Amino acid sequence: MVCLGNICRSPLAEGIMRKKLNDHNINAEVDSCGFESFHTGDRPDQRGIEVAQKNGIDISGHRARLFRVADFDEFDHIFVMDQRNYSDVASVARNRRDMDKVDYIMNMAYPGSNKAVPDPYFGGRADFRKTWEMLDEATGSIIHHIINGKL
């Protein structure tokens, strides 16, 4: 899961996905990262922590990290939140094989839409709730695809 600073959208996506994998007894690894070094090592935004807690998920232990080229080797799928994240990942891809792993997370719910998950950082709690709802829908689709052998 990739966003800009790895303190809002991608930690939420990671937390939701981790819970759903656990709930469905799916053995898979999920992680998140970003491209903006300013937040490296930081906890998620407090508003994200709160919306996750209200939904039974604790993301407070997360610490922001940067995307690594090795992530292409360690993960089968790399989900980005928006066009900027897609471009950032593409800028460090080594080849077509790397890019074949990259997709917009919302394409899991709305194939081919390239719909962005807006960054809630400069918004309010309602923006974090909307981000939660979008990521909950997308990760639900990911689980559905895994269960049905399509991912």
72-86 pLDDT, tens digit each: 999 999 999 999 999
- Tell me the percentage of the chain whose pLDDT exceeds 90: 99
Q: Which of 3, 45, 71, 88 is catalytic?
A: 3
How confident is the model at residue 69, as a pLDDT? 98
pTM for the whole thing? 0.97
Q: Which of 8, 9, 45, 71 is catalytic?
A: 9
Where in the chain are the domains?
9-147
Question: In angstroms, rounded to a whole number, what is the distance separating the alpha carbons of residues 62 and 42?
Answer: 8
Task: Work out the mean pLDDT of the chain and round it to a whole number.
Answer: 98
**Whether 58 is catalytic:** no
pLDDT in tens, 95-138: 999 999 999 999 999 999 999 999 999 999 999 999 999 999 99
What's phi and psi for 38, nearest 5 deg? -55, -35
Whether residue 31 lies in the annotated active site: no
Read off the pLDDT of residues 12-61 as tens digits, 9 standing for 90 and up: 999 999 999 999 999 999 999 999 999 999 999 999 999 999 999 999 99
In CATH terms, the fold of domain 9-147 is Rossmann fold (3.40.50)
47 is catalytic: no
